[in-house]
Amino acid sequence: MPPIKDWSIRVKIMSTAAVAIIVGFAIMIAILAVSMLRGDVAAGHDRVRQLTEDHARQVQDYFAQELMLPYNLSYTLLGLRGVQQPGRAAINDMLASLLGANPNAIGVWMVWERNAFDGKDDEFRLDPSHDPSGLYAPYLTRTGNQVTLDSLLSAEQRKVAETYRSHPQDYVPPYTQAGFGDFYFLTKQRQQETVIDPYLYEIQGKQVLVTTLSVPVMEQGRVVAVVGSDVPLDTLQRLLAESKPEDAAFMEILTDQGMVVAGPDATRFGNKIDEANYAPGFMQALATGKGMEFKRNDMLYMYQPITIPRTGKTWMLGMAMPESVILEGAIAARNQAILVGVVATLAILAVMAAALTAVTRPLGRLADAMEEVSAGEGDLTRRLEVLGKDEIGRTSTAFNRFLGALQDMFREVRQRADEIAASSGTLRDGAARVQDGTQQQAEAATATAASVEQVTVSVQHIANSASDFRENALQAGRSTEAGQQVVLGVAQEIAVVNESMQQLDATMVSLQQRSQQVDHIVQVIRGIADQTNLLALNAAIEAARAGELGRGFAVVADEVRKLAEHTGSATVEIDGIMKEIQREVGSANEGVGHAHDRIEQSVTRSREASAALEEIRDQAKNMVAGVSTIAEATQQQAAASTDIARNIEQISNKAQENQGLMGQTSSAIADLDQQAEQLRTLVARFKI
């Protein structure tokens, strides 16, 4: 899909209009839908409320009708008490007739106060059709079309009652007590009509969930009896099933205590509701008999009170209606509005498309003409038809003027292209001649630059050689001077050595003299040792002569003799050593003399070498000065040659650059010639 900027004007206008129309219709439909939704919701709630009230009224009428049986029975009994009252059997027959005439009731009963009916309760204590109390409390039930005289007691209670037949005065019937006997006890206590919450009751051996409607029989301000009828809950269930609207989810009847009387789930009958499934405050609404409505899980719940006539009791009838049913009309109206909006939008867009096509067709022709011109092969003699003075007509007029201006311009361009082509030929010939001359100049400059470069290289080589020779001469001078210094140092060292040798010669002479003195001393010690040895020998002879008395002296004389012998031996060794020292000192003295002579000669030679090196150093200095002059002159000549070569090279470069520029000029002239030809070709593509 191309970007929006590439859309045609027709598409852009259509798109903008479509968006505006769609948004407008959407807003209008949304407003209508919300308005209809609110109205239909209110109407739906009113309808559900009215249906609930109608069904509650039906149930209320049903209870009023069912209450007529015990109500009429109470008045009949009061009327009979004013005349000759029939017996109990006759009353039972009357009850059977009444029950047979009322198909909704499954039982009819009465309980008379003690002896209030005929004063014969004690006579009936042992009657099998009565319990041991003898109270007149008949209970007639119906199963199908059969009416049977039954007992207000359950089977288990009847078994207990039979145990009191021997002492019936002690028996108190359960139906006269609170709890089991609420159907009698509450009515007597309240002294007004009463409806009993549903309960399970055994009728002809079958457990039945029933509700009891009872009426007190009042005489002189006191209750003499209570009469009532039993209504099974399945009658109410059938009533709801027959009258429930088809679109309702369910209906139910609840007592003021929250017990389920009738509804969609039979397993809940007789059980209390789960408050979590209802709105907060629902139990209070049940207890006070106030209607209530709430929403939960996309369902509208509507509850209306059922006032049971003259009992003071209020039950509740509830109806659950899906919100989809309530909104069905609004949804249908919304869908219809959407359909109408879509059809209207399409119709409007179709009309707009036709109108825009007619309006934008001249723009299309203008665009085609512009594209033909922009493609480079247009007919500049073409003109658009001007159909009016609106924007499109004015644009067509301006386009025709534009084409006229282009036609004149292209004619002038073609003329200028011919002139450019003629001028470019002349320029091309001149540029070729200039380029040839520049080429020759560049070649000559290049050759000259090469020769100068060779001369410069040779001069530079000579200058470098002179510089190297100068450096070598300077190095030789420095080396000669260093050699002179070394020779002078050697001469000085030799002089020092000569002085040391002289001192050594004197020392050697002194050492020879000292060794002679030591030899003399050794001779003296040797003489002393010989004398000591002789004295020791004489002492030994004298000790021998002395015998035992001279033995100690003989030992001393022997030790002295041994010491004298040892001393003599040592002096002989010392004498030998000293003679060897004297001989070696004599030899050393001769060597020192010869070394002294050689050192004297070395001193003389080193002084001569130092003088020669001094002369060499002076000559080297003179040579270095000359070589330095030559090197400086050569360096100046090399620098001048380098400048000449650089200038010639610049001339050559400029010549080559001029040659390149002339080549570029020739190329530019060729391009200009080619462009002029192309311009003529392009202009020729237009019809002018």
Residue 484: pLDDT band (50, 70, 90) is low
- CA torsion sign for 426, 430, 436, 439 is negative
Read off the pLDDT of residues 626-659 as tens digits, 9 standing for 90 and up: 657 766 776 777 677 677 668 767 767 776 776 7
Among 28-32, 447-451, 649-653, the least confident range = 447-451
Per-residue pLDDT averaged across 119-137, rounded? 93
What letter would DSSP give residue 263?
S
Residue 452 has pLDDT above 60, yes or no: no
Q: What angle do CA 568, 571, 573 make, to 5 degrees?
A: 110
Per-residue pLDDT averaged across 505-524, rounded? 73
What values do phi and psi take at 458, rounded to 5? Answer: -65, -50
| Residue 76: closest CA among 115, 54, 108 | 108
Measured between alpha carbons, how far is 249 from 503 in angstroms, rounded to an integer? 151
Residue pair 85/118 in contact (Cβ under 8 Å)? The answer is yes
Measured between alpha carbons, how far is 87 from 589 in angstroms, rounded to an integer? 197
3-state SS record for 390-434: CHHHHHHHHHHHHHHHHHHHHHHHHHHHHHHHHHHHHHHHHHHHH
- CA torsion sign for 119, 123, 127, 130 is positive
What pLDDT score does 72 carry? 92
Read off the pLDDT of residues 585-615 as tens digits, 9 standing for 90 and up: 677 667 667 766 776 777 687 677 677 767 7
Q: Cβ of 237: how many Cβ atoms within 10 Å?
A: 20
What pLDDT score does 37 carry? 66
Tokens representing 631 are 């090197």
- DSSP H or E stretch at residue 294: strand 292-295
What pLDDT score does 490 carry? 58
Residue 444 has pLDDT above 60, yes or no: yes
Residue 683 has pLDDT above 70, yes or no: no
Per-residue pLDDT averaged across 363-379, rounded? 68
Measured between alpha carbons, how far is 317 from 538 in angstroms, rounded to an integer? 179
| Residue 250: closest CA among 314, 338, 321 | 321
What values do phi and psi take at 138, rounded to 5? Answer: -75, 150
Residue pair 14/356 in contact (Cβ under 8 Å)? The answer is yes
What letter would DSSP give residue 151?
-
What values do phi and psi take at 170, rounded to 5? Answer: -90, -5
Higher-confidence residue: 299 or 425?
A: 299
Higher-confidence residue: 315 or 144?
A: 315
Measured between alpha carbons, how far is 216 from 192 in angstroms, rounded to an integer? 6
Residue pair 139/153 in contact (Cβ under 8 Å)? The answer is no
pLDDT above 70: percentage of residues in the chain: 82
Q: Cβ of 4: how many Cβ atoms within 10 Å?
A: 9
Residue 343: pLDDT band (50, 70, 90) is confident
* Tokens 């004489």 sit on residue: 538
Residue 223 has pLDDT above 70, yes or no: yes
Residue pair 216/192 in contact (Cβ under 8 Å)? The answer is yes
Strand order in the sheet with 250-254: 260-262, 250-254, 313-322, 299-308, 292-295
Per-residue pLDDT averaged across 12-24, rounded? 83
What pLDDT score does 378 carry? 63
What pLDDT score does 93 carry? 94
Per-residue pLDDT averaged across 477-495, rounded? 70
What letter would DSSP give residue 130?
S
Per-residue pLDDT averaged across 159-184, rounded? 92
Residue pair 257/283 in contact (Cβ under 8 Å)? The answer is no
Read off the pLDDT of residues 238-249 as tens digits, 9 standing for 90 and up: 888 888 887 788
What pLDDT score does 204 carry? 60
Read off the pLDDT of residues 229-238 as tens digits, 9 standing for 90 and up: 998 888 888 8
Among 2-6, 250-254, 666-670, 672-676, the least confident range = 2-6
Terminal CA-to-CA distance of the chain, rounded, Å? 39
Complete DSSP assignment for 37-73: HHHHHHHHHHHHHHHHHHHHHHHHHHHHHHHHHHHHH
Domain(s) of CATH 3.30.450.20: residues in the chain = 46-326
Q: Cβ of 657: how many Cβ atoms within 10 Å?
A: 12
Residue partners of 38: CB distance under 8 A and separation at least 6: none
**Which CATH fold topology does 46-326 show?**
Beta-Lactamase (3.30.450)
What values do phi and psi take at 305, rounded to 5? Answer: -70, 145
What pLDDT score does 499 carry? 77
Residue 1 has pLDDT above 70, yes or no: no
What pLDDT score does 176 carry? 92
Tokens representing 497 are 């050595």
Residue 70 has pLDDT above 90, yes or no: yes
Read off the pLDDT of residues 178-221 as tens digits, 9 standing for 90 and up: 988 999 999 999 999 999 888 876 656 677 678 999 999 999 89
CATH label, 395-685, candidates 3.30.1380, 1.10.287, 1.10.10, 3.40.462: 1.10.287
What pLDDT score does 434 carry? 62
Domain(s) of CATH 1.10.287: residues in the chain = 395-685
Residue partners of 251: CB distance under 8 A and separation at least 6: 55, 240, 244, 262, 263, 264, 317, 318, 319, 320
Residue 455 has pLDDT above 60, yes or no: no
| Extended strands (E) in 144-262 | 146-150, 194-195, 199-203, 206-219, 222-232, 250-254, 260-262
Complete DSSP assignment for 492-552: HHHHHHHHHHHHHHHHHHHHHHHHHHHHHHHHHHHHHHHHHHHHHHHHHHHHHHHGGGGHH
Q: How much is the pTM?
A: 0.47
Among 411-425, 492-506, 553-567, the least confident range = 492-506
Measured between alpha carbons, how far is 457 from 193 in angstroms, rounded to an integer? 149
Residue 494: pLDDT band (50, 70, 90) is low
Higher-confidence residue: 447 or 664?
A: 664
